[in-house]
Structure 1
């Protein structure tokens, strides 16, 4: 991403870099992969090298002192069927509008790209504004003290392609499993919960009363992983369109590091309403402290999550 920084993860597929008319850069990639030595199953029979081309991700780049510094990535395109592969892209600029073409040899498509998505990536190193659009709940100070409760807004129905975001500052005294950061679940388990896992990560659980899915942040010690005795910003984004959960920790979108092929995870496409009790239990079992909590009734773009982090702890 930057000189001497973490490597961009990409399977064996087309990887394109374009220089745009404004002198900046864009890179098409698929944001997954890793060394086969870590886990041979990732590339079983050699087939794995060519899979996982959905979704397509995009990076924004700015040249500094002869090197391109890349942004945190955004999802660019996705297909509802995870097995559909997208590749062989090209970029078209026309009077300030951006279009991306892609194909899988038999079907070719053209997509207009929202310029705000691209501008957001190019501005990540400077943006420090807290996102206000879609902010359904904002708690700070005594409102997020240990073992307190608050009214929880209804969350959008994931089956209808909508999403939501949980954004908070947290400090762990230890990373033992079973800690509860927040919980909205009712007696039947319907709702959402953020807990610590047995591999020192934060785990999100989604339950609509019939189906359940979960995903956790990156394990390990690389950028974007959890620490103890330090304030950290965590943004958990649930995108009901792509059916993908992402974690952005201290402004770094989790990519799995050396331990996982993916830093992002898919949830059950049939998950619907995951609103629970209408109340949220805050830190009922936490060896640490919550500083603030924001709940958005939409998915935040990665650039917005990074900007929230750069705005600082409130």
Structure 2
């Protein structure tokens, strides 16, 4: 991310001031390029053609999701997503929905698209009429040999009837299924994609299944394609302890041929599983963790994973432990690397956000990689967009595992040891939340001696306007900021403050994403077991909160500086650090024994 700041320095009584200019932010959804807009648009997935053009397929309709008339279309971009051709119908809109298109490009350039089709023309269940039928019926495919200008006739995939089908509302005569991940190349000539079967209408008793074709990259006759419905046996991929909702499976292949699957639940966490035999069998699904050991949080939303050309991985997530379909703004992303035959996930960074406190449900993304550049596509169900992502953003994310340097960009106060005896320093002016970038307080302190309510640092004027960081209950810290009328507060997760020795605290205030977050001793605060969400939202209408000085080193609530020096190192940045930068700051301050200096 490129940020530019306009600095003005005035050396007057030790006061240093600057003004922030709001730079371009690729994370802002408003900066995305439109793919298509309609009453409903979902899963805008893209394949890069041999010509370098992009072909996108997506599900659309005039009404909202599931209201009938859903159909699938294709569109082509010749300028890397800046503009798109008029959509071509792959399936005509009709009473029978065609939905959830997933494209695949063969080695010889043919484009296949796999999708749901209500071929049995089911529109009722018992006494219910006009039921949602976009997950009922057949798995089908069509193909195009002319860049999506025309499409073949419809072919039906041979999906086995299994136990989950026989137990459903139609006793297996009708199947309930859908998929959300693009097919991937597996093995030497194969292709594979994941999908969900349901055992009960609507959206209950889900389990994962996989369709594999090992000759699709060489065989051009669709009647001679060899399909294998996996896993073997009568039961799909699921953990019986994870409840009814186990759905939206998607896969990647590791460098050694191992398959990795991620899917959503309503436990507040996703689930992961590995296959070491090409999808025939799978390990018992478990909750994935960050490399730091914390369980990954994710609601009932698409948990999309991608493998990039450099052999690394990305995981689209929402970092909250909800059990419903909400809280999909902002979008967070983790980077993955292979470690001991498995994927190790970094702590998350904000990838995209809808402005303000929007409740837009950003989801069903795809990754486009071309000529060393990256794009993410996504939808809020009304409008599909593409976003070019700075490659350096992903490189730093993958580098989080070993980063061990202190960030200097935007560092305007940097005091350590004896320099902190003074305890009061000039503070640069910060723009109000609607205009500026934000700021970061990064400090090392021995704060276990503090009582609840005692201050670690503060920047307030005589009228109480400003911000402060204080000791809170249950070994946590609390941040508060106020413009004199409006106030925002947020606590770190409980129990992360060290009982003995010093603690490294990064408080990140991101004005553009409107997010307040903590990184404590190199660990991003996601709420833990106590809270669904560990990051807070910032009121966009709040005015400026910056004053011209900051007091450091524990100030009692009754006034007066403590005699002892609680804060051992203090840094103030005129921008929000990334989680990765905060982790690097933490590691750089460790001595060889692993303790903070």
Q: Which has the larger radius of gyration?
A: 2
3-state SS of 1:117 partner: helix
Alignment of 1:17-36 (within 5 A): 17-33=305-321
2:521 is aligned, of 250, 253, 264, to 250
Which of 454, 461, 484 is equivalent to 1:209? Answer: 484
* Partner residue in 2 for 1:98: 374
- Residue of structure 1 equivalent to 2:340: 65
Match of 1:40 in 2: none
Residues 292-301 or 102-111, more deviating? 102-111
Contact residue 420 and residue 565 of structure 2 kept, 8 A: no
User: Structure 2 residue aligned with 1:124, among 385, 400, 409?
Assistant: 400
For residues 292 and 497 of structure 2, what CA distance do their matches in structure 1 show? 21
Q: What does residue range 1-314 of structure 1 map to in structure 2 within 5 Å?
A: 1-2=289-290, 5-33=293-321, 49-80=324-355, 81-145=357-421, 148-174=423-449, 176-220=451-495, 225-285=496-556, 289-312=566-589, 313=596
TM-score by length of 2: 0.48
Give the length in aligned residue pairs: 296
Shift of 1:270: 1.0
Please give the secondary structure, in 1, of the residue aligned with 2:460: coil
CA 250–163 in structure 1, closer or farther in 2 if over 3 Å, else same: same
Change (3 A) 1:70 1:101: same
Residue 238 of structure 1 and its aligned partner are, at CA, apart by 0.4
Superposition CA RMSD, Å: 1.9
Closer/same/farther in 2, CA of residues 33 and 263 from structure 1, 3 Å limit: same
Which whole-Å CA distance do the structure 2 matches of 1:4 and 1:125 have between them? Answer: 9
- Segments of 5+ residues of structure 2 without an aligned counterpart are 1-288, 557-561, 590-595
Question: Post-superposition shift, 1:90?
Answer: 0.6
Contact 1:191/1:277 (<8 A) preserved: no
Q: Which runs of 5+ in 1 are unaligned?
A: 35-42, 44-48
Contact 2:332 2:349 (8 Å CA) reproduced: yes
Partners of 1:232 and 1:250 within 8 A in 2? yes
Q: TM-score if structure 1 supplies the norm length?
A: 0.89
Structure possessing the higher relative contact order (Cα contacts under 8 Å, 6 or more residues apart):
1
CA distance in 1, matches of 2:483, 2:292: 43
Deviations 1:12-58 (A, max 9, x none): 00001111000000000000015xxxxxxxx5xxxxx1100000000
Distance 1:3 1:87 in 2: 25
Q: Secondary structure at the match of 2:298?
A: coil
Say whether the 8 Å CA contact 2:428–2:548 is kept in structure 1: no
Distance in 1 between residues matched to 2:402 and 2:423, nearest whole Å: 35
